[in-house]
Structure 1
Amino acid sequence: MAGSSASAGSAGSSGGRKPGPGRGASLSWAQVRAALPGAFRKLDPRELVASPVLFVVELGAVATTALAAFEPSVFAWAIALWLWATVLFATLAESVAESRGKAQASSLRATQQQTTARRVMAPSDTLATGTGLASCPTAEVPSSTLAVGDVVVVRAGEIVPGDGDVIEGVASVDESAITGESAPVIRESGGDRSAVTGGTVVLSDTIVVRITAPAGHTFVDRMIALVEGSERQRTPNEIALNILLTSLTIIFLLAVVTLQPFAVYSGSKQSMIVLISLLVCLIPTTIGALLSAIGIAGMDRLVQRNVLAMSGRAVEAAGDVDVLLLDKTGTITYGNRQAADLLTVGDVTTAQLAEAARLSSLADETPEGKSIVVLVRERYGLGDAQADQADAFAGAEMVPFSAHTRMSGIDLPLPDGRVRRIRKGAGSAVQRWVHSTGVRTSSGPGATVAEQLAAHVDAVSSSGGTPLVVAEQVGEGPARVLGVVHLKDVVKAGMRERFDELRAMGIRTVMVTGDNAVTARAIAAEAGVDDVLAEATPEDKLALIRREQAGGRLVAMAGDGTNDAPALAQADVGVAMNTGTTAAKEAGNMVDLDSDPTKLIEIVEIGKQLLITRGALTTFSIANDIAKYFAILPAMFMVVFPQLAVLNVMRLSSPESAILSAVVFNALIILVLIPLSLKGVRYRPSSASAMLRRNLLVYGVGGLVAPFVGIKLIDLVISLIPGIG
């Protein structure tokens, strides 16, 4: 996952500005007003037929309205009104959920604009080389005419005309219109940060981009379609629950139909309005009304976190994940090794080693070199921002770090005319330099410098760190080793606690790294992950995912490089970084616009919250249907069978009041639960058995109690209405 660490740093700020799971989802009257037109449009039977439960309720509302018009009464019209309200509240729930996505889509659509593209006019063999294209002649064409494979030049201040990969150059790009992140990002050719998105703005330099998506099928187009819900398909779990609800509806429909002959036989014939009311109250209207809204809201919560899910199936799979593959660099650690300690050898003092480590790192522009300067300044009080500038050393020759020498340093002229040479770098490189000048084997009594040095190097390496050796030479004499700088991967704060939470959910975490096994195990122990895949190759990742899936487990992973694409495609939840390659984004079923690999943990939590919300409201719906039996059935037959009075535990005023109160409660409970379906049930990491107990206690018992209280309160009001009470 090269490049992820760079982006993760900038993503850290954006991660805090988005509402997390269960936040930012309150329902306002403005949202309700905006969603009402859509709710009325959804009353079209052709729309509702996809939800058999609501379709049956609408048919009941139509029939009741016709009966009320044929034989008018306060009771009949009240039942008809509240049956229509039941259907409207159900469509309102879905409409409100969709309106949030449409608001997000509107802001995305604003980023799309027709622009002029500078298409490179060159022979196909020249275009295939990917070099020297910035100086080729170009023709200005509308961005809407670009096709896959076209090559365009984008200069500073210009808008990227379409999705593509940078094949030449490097530039700073403003992606705030897409990601919301104000900090610009670097896009360059030849790496895992080569993908650019249409509608973003190049801030500096010039890049050459090869178009990878035709107009109308860009990444932003896909985002708009998905967040609007126009491409949202029902997930397998949602389909299964719909089948269950349909089955229950058919069962209760048959029960109500066959109830009338028994009622006639017993001398208690019921009107069609009463039978329709009974049917509506018995079928699972509550969860049937909220099911679609729960699914849409789950995807919307991901959008709030700047994650685009390509399907609802991916969100559900995230909630069922058993194994989490996490890249070490940029996910578990900060990505760049940092100086943690200084270890002296012989008679060298810590102050001497600190000064030499600082001086030899001033020309080292790597993050590791800069961290040494910071460590010495903060821990030992040596140097400051001005003194650490290379030009502050008049006459000194700076030796920058290079991959060839694997060292950095400085040559300082002394007052006596001699030169003090200080070097810092990989142990083998520095030792070769020391031996080339002559070796001073001992700096004091006891163990030799070589033995002390070997002990320090072994200790740092076995702890998972990287040892850098510091040495100096004065004049033409032999150089001497001063000590070792301990570089270590710094585990991000709070990671151990996050892994403990995942473990409580029953999720096994696997750290994937290219480090050797010793280093990998040390970092894994510090971070608290369950397992390690060290010296990992793309083939190793793919093989691990397949082994886990063969054992019946669902696997999630994040990646950003082309070499991650096979594993992302194989994983049940593959989260591609937006900074990554086009291949990675096409292989994954989610894209993180902030390119923050740690967000994989949040994605799992959002997926679980979606499943828990659906399960909780299903439990509540079935439980309150049971309670409604005690309101309607005694009211229907109590006159003929006085013994049923014992079931009238709520002591409702009259049969008509009991039936109407149940219908009113059935409608209002949908309206009450809309905010919860959008916000989601609060998720607490725990075992499956603990979550089941909580679900049954809170939503099972609550679903039984709420109707008794609600129906009784409604009955007290309805009993005051002439013609019903």
Structure 2
Amino acid sequence: MSTLTKPRESEQAGTPAPVRRGVTAGSLAAGLPGAFRKLDPRLMVRTPVMFIVEAGAVLITAIAVAEPFLGGPADSGGTAVPGAFSWLIAGWLWATVIFANLAESVAEGRGKAQAASLRNSRATTTAYRVDGYDAARDPAALGAPVAEVPSADLALDDVVVVEAGQVIPGDGDIIDGIASVDESAITGESAPVVRESGGDRSAVTGGTRVLSDRIVVRITSRHGETFVDRMIRLVEGAARQKTPNEIALDILLATLSLVFIVVVLTLNPLAGYSSATVSIPVLVALLVCLIPTTIGALLSAIGIAGMDRLVQRNVLAMSGRAVEAAGDVTTLLLDKTGTITYGNRQAAGFIPINGTESTDLIDAAVLSSFGDPTPEGKSIVDLAAAKGCRPEPPAGSVSVPFTAQTRMSGMDFPDGAKIRKGASSAILDWTAESGGIDVDVLIAVEDRVKRISTGGGTPLLVAVRDADGGTRVLGVVHLKDVVKEGLKDRFAQLRAMGIRTVMITGDNPYTARAIAAEAGVDDFLAEATPEDKMALIRREQEGGHLVAMTGDGTNDAPALAQADVGVAMNTGTSAAKEAGNMVDLDSDPTKLIDIVGIGKQLLITRGALTTFSIANDIAKYFAIIPAMFVGVFPGLSALNLMQLHSPASAILSAVIFNAVIIVALIPLALRGVKYRAAGSSSILSRNLLVYGVGGVIAPFIGIKAIDLLISLLPGF
């Protein structure tokens, strides 16, 4: 037990070092040990296509070892092959397996580098736990000392005190106080952020540092595990599971492989009718070139790289399925404040009503804003100061604070007079308490309120109640919510992608309609409650749409959990972060648009490389099939379109190309196919043209080039 003192730290929290993302010779070399470790059959069986290749490599290696004792290599379709043929086939089959493992190993290595950077940023801290915490009393005045415990010993719902300069020992919610927090260890951003109790910015992350003041935190993590620990585990890939589409594609590839196994096994009996035999090394080479090894080798790397691209943008996906779902999103729900607009409405003007002097309205608006700490209230004081108005309240005046319940702020004067400023409905209700206002004035007020609202602004009424009880509306303060630049173009891109955008706001329908039109969204939901958000998401999903949304508050948690892609802000509450399947460490709601793009890039990359893989098999057929039987059926030489040197060189060239193309495509698999906003039919046409036609042409060129080199070897 001890009194509050600065904790001892074994490491200082800091900004993670940047992780290089390019595929270089060094990254390939670093991935080789992992590629060899993955040769374990227990690991290889998870990728059926490459497991078949490994089994073939083992078989051909055994045959190559046994050939000297069996009288040398067998003929292939009546055509002799070089003595080293089996060894060459075996070597390149092993290379194919290793290259496939290398793609996954490099992808995982990038995640591990990011994880190592995060691990270095963690701090081992002493926690200052308050036992028997009483929310009604200041922890420093408890009288009893505060217990020093290791952060790893903290349990769920423990309460700790963290002062300036100390590291927050675990994930939690602030239950008392406000502080400036350095989150650079998590987000990489050097600018501190403000965290405070009682709002949507109350969540804090273990390992971040308090820069000012003092906060009381209730721990929300179990067994000392922090959000950073979960990040490390996820980016390392330990918790990554295959997505449904990956599983379906694995099943398709496995099925194709089984079909081709049956086809290859029947070739020798069929060739026997012509008194010819096909050697096992040639049959295995044919099988490996027939099955879609390219996409089988790169499939896992594509999925890992998709999650890694999100990590690069400081978005943590809790599962690969969430990234994939982002690519299929058809409805995007975006909160207005902070996403579509800059968030803080600013006072743009003072509009007197009923003959009120402009200075009287401004003075009343400023005095009633002294109890309004919101950005809107501060902007009113700033605008008035810019106009030269700086009124001072009379001695004995009492500020009436703004609350969400009253939706008003104001000031009470010693003589009994009162000023109120707030939402139009709240002010009109307040005036009604003392008899209301003149009908003509009411019509003028409603007209001005409607004009401001339909123009996208927010009207605040300012009213005064005299000491004798009479009430007057002095005028309207015009607040403007500014739409972020460039959003209209981005929403147009989403529309071209077939994605419908819906703005969600608590504003009235007039304001919501004007902002929606200015921003260019397709639809809006005004005066939205948590129940309204849930109902909207369910309606969209029942219509066959996949829905994505952002949120940061506890009231957003149900909708985040219901959405197919729920992106929680790191600055938000623990409930929101637990409900979503992604967390944006930068707390930038507009990043949802980028997340959708990354998801689509993942799906397009997988589709493009699958197209390429199947297409390049066509060229390999023309290389191997004629070569296998040209000795028995000379007419097949007409199919030897590439005019390869010999059957042996043709078969070996196809096997070598099959291995080398995997390495050549690793950078593309990790970087992803460049995504351009377009319709699905346009994207499909482009992929067929680039990767379909390219997948046919590239092997013709590559196999022919390799054949020319092999023809220089003795025996070929």
Instruction: Determine if the TM-score, normalized by the shorter chain, exceeds 0.5.
Output: yes
Aligned to 1:277: 285
CA gap of 1:18–1:328, structure 2 versus 1, over 3 A, is: farther
Match of 2:98 among 88, 95, 100: 88
Q: Counterpart in 1 of 2:611?
A: 619
Note the C-alpha offset of 1:60.
1.3
Per-residue deviation, residues 588-632 of structure 1 (Å, max 9, x unmatched): 111111111111111111111111111110111001011110000
Shift of 1:481: 8.8
Deviation at residue 342 of structure 1 after TM alignment = 6.0
Name the CA distance, whole Å, in 1 between partners of 2:214 and 2:674.
48
C-alpha distance in 2, partners of 1:394/1:592?
Answer: 44
SS of residue paired to 2:253: helix
Instruction: Give the corresponding residue for 2:238.
Output: 230
**How far apart, CA to CA, are the structure 1 residues paired with 2:429 and 2:262?**
90
1:260 and 1:433 map into 2 onto residues whose CA distance is 95
Who is 1:517 aligned against?
509
Whether the 8 Å contact between 2:178 and 2:196 is mirrored in structure 1 is: yes
Paired position in structure 2 for 1:688: 680
Q: State yes or no: 1:28 paired with 2:24.
A: yes
Report how many aligned residue pairs link the two structures. Answer: 674
Report the CA distance shift for 1:357/1:265 in structure 2 as closer, same or farther (over 3 A): farther
Supply the AA of the counterpart residue of 1:35: G
Q: Which residue of 2 aligns with 1:111?
A: 121
Contact conserved, 1:319 with 1:610, CA < 8 A, in 2?
A: yes
- 1:272–1:398 CA distance, 2 compared to 1 (3 A): farther
Provide the secondary structure at the position in 2 that maps to 1:591. strand
Q: Tell me, what secondary structure is at the counterpart of 1:169?
A: strand
Give the residue type in structure 1 aligned to 2:120.
A
2:108 paired with 1:98: yes
> What code does the residue aligned with 1:327 have?
D
User: What are the ranges of 5 or more consecutive residues in structure 2 without an aligned counterpart?
Assistant: 1-16, 69-82
Asked if structure 1 preserves the Cα contact closer than 8 Å seen for 2:115 and 2:235, the reply is: yes
Q: Deviations over 1:445-465 (max 9, x none)?
A: xxx998766543331122231
Q: Are 2:674 and 1:704 equivalent residues in the alignment? A: no
SS in 2 for 1:82: helix
Match of 1:210 in 2: 218
Structure 1 equivalent of residue 141 of structure 2:
135
Per-residue Cα deviation, 1:368-417 (whole angstroms, up to 9, x for no partner): 3554577789xxxx66xxx89x69x9999999784279567999xxxxxx
Give how far 1:78 is off: 2.0
1:598–1:80 CA distance, 2 compared to 1 (3 A): same
- Displacement after TM superposition at 1:665 (Å): 0.7
**Aligned counterpart in structure 1 of residue 526 of structure 2, from 528, 534, 539:** 534
- What does residue 9 of structure 2 align with? none
Contact 1:226 1:232 in 2 (8 A): yes
The alpha-carbon distance between structure 1 residues 428 and 218, as it changes in their structure 2 partners (threshold 3 A), is closer
Q: Which position in structure 2 is the counterpart of 1:499?
A: 491
2:86 equivalent among 65, 76, 85 = 76
Q: Is the 8 A contact 2:309 2:598 kept in 1?
A: yes
Distance 1:366 1:569, change over 3 A: closer
Distance of 1:250 and 1:550 partners within structure 2: 38
1:54 corresponds to which residue?
50
**CA distance 1:552–1:346, shift in 2 (3 Å):** closer
Equivalent position amino acid for 1:99 in 2: G
What residue number does 1:655 align with?
647
Contact 1:160 1:198 (C-alpha < 8 Å) held by counterparts: yes
Q: The residue matched to 1:178 in structure 2 has which SS?
A: helix
In the alignment, what sits opposite 1:415?
none
The CA RMSD measured in Å over matched residues stands at 3.7
| Partner AA of 1:117 in structure 2 | A
Q: SS of 2:39's equivalent?
A: coil
Q: Is residue 472–residue 481 contact of structure 1 (8 Å, CA) maintained in 2?
A: yes
Which residue of structure 1 lines up, in the alignment, with residue 186 of structure 2? 178
- The 8 Å contact of residues 368 and 419 in structure 2, kept in 1 or not, is answered as no
Residue 11 of structure 1 aligns with which residue? none
What is the CA deviation profile of residues 630-649 of structure 1, one whole-angstrom value per residue up to 9, with x for unaligned ones?
A: 00001111122122112111
Distance 1:176 1:194, change over 3 A: same
**Alpha carbons 1:18, 1:305 under 8 Å: kept:** no
Aligned residue for 2:200, secondary structure, equals coil
In structure 2, the CA distance between the partners of 1:262 and 1:521, relative to structure 1 (3 Å rule), is same
**Alpha-carbon deviations, 1:215-257, whole Å to 9, x = none?**
3533222111111011111111101100011011111111111
Q: Identify if the C-alpha distance between structure 1 residues 583 and 131 changes in structure 2 by more than 3 Å, giving closer, same or farther.
A: farther
Is this contact kept in 2: 1:299–1:312, CA < 8 A?
yes
Distance in 2 between residues matched to 1:433 and 1:190, nearest whole Å:
27
How far does the alpha carbon of each residue in 1:573-599 deviate from its partner, in whole angstroms, 9 at most, with x for none?
111111111111111111111111111
**Cα contact 2:153–2:224 (8 A) shared by 1:** no
Instruction: Check the 8 A contact 1:130/1:168 in 2, yes or no.
Output: no
Q: CA deviation at 1:361?
A: 9.8
Inter-partner Cα distance in structure 2 for 1:343 and 1:166: 41
Q: What is the distance in 1 between the residues matched to 2:265 and 2:50?
A: 18
**1:75 shift after superposition:** 2.5
Q: Is the 8 A contact 1:578 1:593 kept in 2?
A: yes
For 2:115, give the aligned amino acid.
A
| CA shift in 2, pair 1:398/1:265, >3 Å | farther
SS in 2 for 1:31: helix
Deviation at 1:365? Answer: 5.7
What do residues 94-125 of structure 1 show as CA deviations (whole Å, max 9, x unaligned)?
A: 00000011011111212334321111122xxx
201, 204, 215: which one aligns with 2:209: 201
Structure 2 match to 1:43? 39
Query: SS in structure 2 opposite 1:532?
Result: strand
Q: Provide, for residues 259-290 of structure 1, a one-character-per-residue CA deviation record: whole Å limited to 9, x for no partner.
A: 11112222332211111111111111000000
Which string of whole-angstrom CA distances, capped at 9 and with x for unpartnered residues, describes residues 125-168 of structure 1?
x55x4753343331111111111122111111111111122122
Higher relative contact order (CA 8 A, sep 6+): 1
* One-letter identity of the residue aligned with 2:502: V
Aligned 8 A contact 1:25 1:678 in 2: no
SS class of match (2:121): coil
Q: Which residue of 2 aligns with 1:561?
A: 553
Q: Is 2:281 the counterpart of 1:298? A: no
Matched residues in 2 for 1:131 and 1:342: separation? 43
**Partner of 2:175: helix, strand, or coil?**
strand
Which residue, 306, 311, 329 being the options, matches 2:319? Answer: 311
How far is 1:334 from its partner?
A: 1.1
